[in-house]
Structure 1
Amino acid sequence: MADKRGVTIRELAQAAGVSIGTVSRALKGQPGLSEQTRSQVLEVAQQLGYDTAKLRTGKPRRMLFIYSRHLGSLANNPFYSYVLHGAETACREAGVPLSIMSVVAGDDIAGQVRRHEVDALLGAGYFDPETMEAVRRCELPLVLVDHFYPGVRCINDDNQLGAWLATRHLLEGGSQRVAAIFGPPTHYSVSLRAKGFRRALFEAGRLFDPDYEVTLDPVMDYRESGRDAMSRLLALPEPPDAVFAYNDSTAMYAIELCRERGLRVPEDIRFVGYDDIEEAAHCKPPLSTVKMDKEALGHMAARALVEGDVEPSEASLPVELVVRESSRIAAPVAAAAPARKAKRQPATAEPR
């Protein structure tokens, strides 16, 4: 029999042929399992000498919100600030303290997590595989937001549909050269938004031209990378007359550059972003965007951890297109009608 302190929940799950979440439910006596599965897990746990004290029962005593330092500060990344606020609201409702930690590959993640003395992890945004595996080795209940990883409970918005709606809107408005600006293609949400963009082009009978799809330079400052991406598009022999940007901040930086180059938005070039951050409605011109309930993403993830709902699965929240001035279709200028002598109106006529 193995030493109790040497058996991990991952090894137990592998030996029983079930997921880590199933092992957790079986050992905690939670509902949602057949008696056969529960008995199988308990039998394997006994055979391996697994220390059941490792799994605390009931809701977590403290939760940790983790994100990659590559995202920058939450203050500079409005999307995740909303997600954090939603998670904090759910934790407050459940009486569970929430703390925050940024991580990166090479960190002693397990040691840092232990110092926080938490019972559950909420991961937000993209984590590279090395970091993701280090997080999973902490062997705590885990839910991911705006990311996907096999064997983990994941909560996302409908990224592919959102990008499709944005691109279709630009195409149906008459734009002939629709381009896109994306972030790193390794990011789950970015890859799905790229699929939605291409799908809309395909369904409209447009040939996909890779020159009209650019990726932000990861080495550059975020604002400058957005301006650089737009500059590359404008340098094409036939610059785009519409752009879908994978998030609102990138769209606003691109618009900033276009205006500096003397282009009018939306008369010369139309834009749609994604996320509907607060600044989108107040920039000049107001930005069309794809809206989802960002706080609901964080709230739903935190609630899942509070309730022990961590079985591997993916939930998808709905999205909607919000049309504002940046993608408005310019009305055609009417031809001047021949001047005619105005008829004199009665003095009692009311203005219309």
Structure 2
Amino acid sequence: MVTIYDIAKRSGYSITTVSKVLNNYKNVSEKAIKAVQEAIDELGYTPNSSARTLATNKSWMIGVVFAEHLGVGIAHPFFSEVIEGFKKHVELYNYDLLFVSRHMGLQEETYKHLKHRGVDGVVVVQSFGEDLIGGENSPIPAVYIDMPLKQPGSVYSDNRHGSSLAVNYLTELGHERIAHIMGDQTNFAGEERAIGFLKAMEKKGLVVPEHYLVNGGFFSYEGGREAMIRLLALSERPTAVVVAGDIMALGAIKVIKEAGLRVPEDISIVGFDDIALAKHVDPPLTTIRQDKDLIGRQAAIILLNKINGDQDSSSRVVPVQLIKRGSCQLIRG
């Protein structure tokens, strides 16, 4: 069995330097890192997890907590892509992920469970409510995705700007009667996207009737359906709808078709997320793309820095992009 002593002998560097390279310490020269890595590759060294844990006083494990109202966790396409981006980055530093039961959410039991398992840090996805994981006095470093909190640091998309991009595009196409299917307003992303929508409409000098703002709930297909049914029942229905999530947008499009209307000929639709399915539906969905891989990587960088003693808790706001497809159309005179 190859040991770090063999690596030290082959590379020409001390056991201390080899240990630092294996544990990703920053105060090691590029030359030493290259020599040690070459020795590792040549000897086929695989670190023993138990020995590594004892040597470094780390578990090399990161907890993953889903605290979201839908209760679907990683099955949601947005969350799964974000966690994949997170996972790819922490794996570069030899960390494994421990997924906490989605039924636990942000509860005291969750904190106790993570503490018992000895995780080095935790990533909380789509958080809400009281922070029981990574507060100021918590020994567990934490990062939050989609929920800005002052203490632990967080990563989220520029939701307001995304709604603004959607409104600006629709007005360029001649739309003025624009409605908004909102995400639930107790949810950070839902609230921010609604604020962005209203501010953009105000900037364009367009009035938003109260009944043009419909709560679609927690970003579900059914929520999008129910909200669109309400909009279609209006005496003066909108010519375009900005929807706070792609899955809700798909539900809205289904209702429009069931009513004998067409997208985009009768009603234009803009979603938010750019899930993988968005480009394959009929019509392909115009949407606001969140850079889900970058969100995951930024969260990983923050958390790894915190695990290594960097207490920077500033938030990272990830840019968004308008993706034009086939669900919007120019208003015909």
Does the CA-based 8 Å contact 2:63-2:121 persist in structure 1? yes
The equivalent of 1:317 in structure 2 is 318
1:202 aligned onto 2:202: yes
> Aligned AA for 1:306?
L
Q: Deviations over 1:204-235 (max 9, x none)?
A: 111232210111246xx933222111101111
Closer/same/farther in 2, CA of residues 255 and 60 from structure 1, 3 Å limit: same
Match of 1:179 in 2: 179
Contact preservation (8 Å) 1:60, 1:119: yes
Alignment pair present for 1:222 and 2:223: no
TM-score relative to the length of structure 2: 0.77
Please state how far the C-alpha of 1:60 moved relative to its aligned partner: 6.8
| Residue in 1 that maps onto 2:147 | 147
Query: Structure 2 vs 1, CA of residues 312 and 115 (structure 1 numbering), >3 Å: closer, same or farther?
Result: same
Partner in structure 2 of residue 127 of structure 1? 128
1:153-164 equivalences in 2 (<5 Å): 153-164=153-164
SS at match of 1:122: strand
Residue 74 of structure 1 and its aligned partner are, at CA, apart by: 3.1
Gapped regions of structure 2 (runs ≥ 5): 1-25, 28-54
- Distance of 1:119 and 1:75 partners within structure 2: 21
- Structure 1 residue 150 displacement after superposition: 2.3
* Cα deviations by residue, 1:253-295 (Å, 9 ceiling, x for unpaired): 1001100101110010000001111000001100000112101
Counterpart in 1 of 2:273?
A: 275
Asked if the contact 2:180–2:244 (Cα under 8 Å) also holds between the matched residues in 1, the reply is yes
Match of 2:63 in 1: 64
For residue 104 of structure 1, what is the aligned residue in structure 2? 105
Distance (whole Å) between structure 1 residues aligned to residue 68 and residue 161 of structure 2: 28
Q: Give structure 1 stretches of 5+ with no counterpart.
A: 1-29, 32-55, 333-352
Instruction: Name the SS for the 1:156 alignment partner.
Output: strand
Give the number of the structure whose alpha-carbon radius of gyration is greater: 1
Contact 1:71/1:77 (8 A) holds in 2: no
Counterpart CA distance in 1 for 2:57 and 2:239 is 56
CA deviations 1:17-76 (Å, max 9, x no partner) are xxxxxxxxxxxxx99xxxxxxxxxxxxxxxxxxxxxxxx989872111111152322354
| Counterpart code for 1:252 | L
**Percent pairwise identity:** 32
Residue 114 of structure 1, CA deviation: 2.3
CA drift at 1:84: 0.7
Q: Structure 1 length as normaliser, TM-score?
A: 0.73
1:126 to partner: Cα distance? 2.6
Contact 2:107 2:132 in 1 (8 A): no
Distance 2:107 2:64 in 1: 19
1:80 maps onto 2:87 in alignment: no
Cα shift at 1:305: 1.5
One-letter code aligned to 1:80: F
- Correspondence for 1:326: 327
Helix, strand or coil: the match of 2:155?
A: strand
Shift of 1:331: 6.6
Deviations 1:173-210 (A, max 9, x none): 11121001111112222211111101111111112322
**Distance 1:91-1:276 versus aligned 2 partners, 3 A rule:** same
User: What is the alpha-carbon root mean square deviation over aligned residues?
Assistant: 2.4
> May I ask how many residue pairs the two structures share in their alignment?
275
Aligned residues of 1:59 and 1:306 also touching (Cα < 8 A): no
Deviates more, 1:209-218 or 1:117-126: 209-218
Question: Aligned equivalents of 2:282 and 2:231: distance in 1?
Answer: 21
> Which one is further off, 60-69 or 233-242?
60-69
Q: Secondary structure at the match of 1:325?
A: coil
- Are the aligned partners of 2:163 and 2:193 in contact in 1 as well (CA < 8 Å)? yes
The one-letter amino acid paired with 2:314 is S
Of residues 188-197 and 300-309 in structure 1, the stretch that sits farther from structure 2 once superposed is 300-309
Is contact 2:115-2:140 (8 Å) kept?
Answer: no
How far has the Cα of 1:324 moved from its partner?
A: 0.6
Q: Following TM superposition, by how much is the alpha carbon of 1:135 offset from its aligned partner in structure 2, in angstroms?
A: 5.0
Secondary structure of 2:272's match? coil
- Say whether the 8 Å CA contact 1:113–1:138 is kept in structure 2: no
Instruction: Tell me how far apart the structure 1 counterparts of residues 292 and 323 of structure 2 sit (CA, whole Å).
Output: 15
Match of 2:37 in 1: none
